[in-house]
């Protein structure tokens, strides 16, 4: 519910010499000698604005409320101030007709809205650059008849593959996973060196996926979530959670944070929300274990390494819902899947946000409604999704 309690950064100033030059064409950041005069091409707000406008003109790239043949998107500002959520659907991603990129981003802190939008705009470009680089490298290796290098797991336990397809699709998974890991690393480094977005106590979650044919790869940082709507053996609608909510009290996350001297505890007035705190200061109180930005906590266990997962899609898989925690805090996976399945494709994301807003008012009448952002990705755009009578009744109850 609450992401970050403190935005105080008076105890630290960032010297200009820490700023590195960034190549926006290939997504690679190079640190120059701090004694030399630093010049950053394309780093002014006006240049970034021009770049943003050029991105907005790309066919198949959507970031505002709307719908396409494959997806429905909707975001709504809550009652906490400016909307810090962002979302994107990019069809024909990487100029490939069978490839789609989707993501939702939940910003927090004083400049969280800026961080979320920056990641929304830049992360897909960096991921595409890594995918193209890996493809070029593989072509060269094939010519030389050299096997590709084995991926080194830098953060054990941060990824998993659908066990039924680990062998069959292992090479695809490893290639896509490596690209996700590199793109997320470069993205976080760029934020650290950004000349005018202060990410010291501001950051964003990110749950992003690439669907390429029947392959689905997901990279997750933070507590936004991806859930699959699929059919079980009895052909009933089922919800399958594809990501793990990376909260500070998750055993794996808590162990890393404590080893890095970070502290984890919940406040008395919100005992269900565990937060990350500095070793000797009760700030900033971050309610997630991984995030882009939040550099005040990066030495104390908070990381931007994505939890990467893979799924080979079948004809039983109908849609994927990506949403920020404004939805998951008040609706279960099963409720979300039922609502989306019972809604017209053109308005599914809006109907889900409407349902979450009503649920907030019922469950937390004295709390401020959180921002919500939803992307509903339909895995077969030509398929109509029929519900059983029981499922329809459940969805109707949720909407009323």
Q: Would you state the pLDDT for residue 350?
A: 98
Query: What's the rounded mean pLDDT across residues 226-248?
Result: 97
- The pLDDT score that the predictor gives to residue 380 is 84
Q: Helix crossing, 389-399 with 333-341: angle to 10°? A: 100
99 or 169: which leads in pLDDT = 99
Instruction: Give me the percent of the chain exceeding a pLDDT of 70.
Output: 74
pLDDT digits (tens, 9 = 90+) for 314-347: 999 999 999 999 999 999 999 999 999 999 999 9
The mean pLDDT of the chain is: 83
Contact 123, 188 (CB under 8 A): no
Q: What pLDDT digit, counting tens, does each position of 350-396 carry?
A: 999 999 999 999 999 999 999 999 999 999 866 654 555 554 555 55
> In angstroms, rounded to a whole number, what is the distance separating the alpha carbons of residues 238 and 298?
37
Residue of 322, 117, 370 whose CA lies nearest to 220:
322
Query: Span 114-132, mean pLDDT?
Result: 95
pTM for the full predicted model: 0.81
What are residue 85's DSSP bridge partners?
Answer: 106
Angle at 71 between CA 70 and CA 77, to 5 degrees: 170
Q: E strands along the chain, which residues?
A: 21-22, 29-30, 61-62, 66-67, 71-76, 85-91, 99-108, 159-161, 203-204, 206-212, 215-221, 225-231, 237-241, 263-266, 274-278, 281-286, 292-293, 307-312, 317-323, 372-378
Reading the block at residue 291, the tokens are 């995030």
Domains of the chain, with CATH numbers? Answer: 55-245+303-380+387-399 (3.60.40.10)
């Amino acid at each position: 519910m609450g992401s970050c309690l403190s935005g105080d950064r008076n105890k630290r100033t960032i010297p200009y010499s820490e700023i590195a030059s960034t190549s926006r064409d290939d997504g690679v950041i190079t640190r120059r000698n701090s004694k030399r005069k630093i010049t950053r091409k394309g780093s002014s707000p006006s240049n970034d604005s021009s770049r943003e406008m050029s991105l907005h003109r790309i066919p198949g790239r959507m970031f505002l409320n709307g719908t396409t043949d494959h997806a429905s998107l909707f975001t709504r500002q809550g009652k906490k101030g400016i909307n810090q959520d962002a979302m994107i659907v990019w069809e024909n991603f990487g100029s490939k007709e069978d490839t789609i990129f989707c993501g939702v981003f939940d910003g927090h802190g004083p400049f969280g809205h800026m961080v979320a939008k920056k990641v929304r705009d830049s992360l897909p470009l960096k991921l595409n650059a890594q995918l193209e680089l890996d493809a070029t490298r593989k072509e060269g290796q094939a010519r030389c008849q050299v096997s590709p290098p084995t991926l080194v797991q830098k953060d054990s336990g941060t990824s998993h593959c659908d066990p039924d397809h680990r062998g069959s699709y292992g090479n695809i998974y490893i290639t896509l996973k490596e690209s996700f890991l590199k793109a997320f690393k470069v993205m976080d480094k760029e934020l650290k060196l950004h000349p005018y977005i202060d990410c010291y106590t501001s950051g964003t979650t990110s749950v992003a996926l690439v669907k390429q044919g029947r392959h689905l790869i997901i990279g997750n940082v933070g507590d936004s979530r991806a859930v699959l709507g699929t059919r079980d053996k009895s052909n009933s609608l089922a919800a399958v959670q594809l990501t793990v909510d990376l909260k500070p009290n998750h055993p794996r996350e808590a162990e890393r944070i404590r080893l890095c001297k970070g502290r984890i505890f919940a406040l008395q007035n919100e005992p269900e929300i565990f937060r990350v705190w500095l070793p000797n200061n009760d700030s900033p109180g971050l309610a997630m274990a991984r995030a882009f930005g939040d550099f005040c906590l990066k030495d104390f266990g908070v990381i931007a390494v994505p939890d990467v997962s893979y799924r080979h899609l079948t004809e039983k898989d109908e849609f994927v819902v990506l949403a920020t925690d404004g939805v998951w805090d008040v609706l279960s996976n099963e409720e979300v899947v039922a609502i989306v399945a019972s809604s017209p494709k053109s308005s599914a994301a809006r109907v889900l946000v409407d349902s979450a807003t009503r649920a907030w008012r019922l469950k937390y009448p004295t709390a401020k409604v959180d921002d919500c952002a939803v992307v509903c990705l339909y895995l077969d755009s030509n398929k109509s999704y029929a519900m059983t009578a029981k499922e329809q009744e459940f969805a109707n109850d949720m909407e009323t």
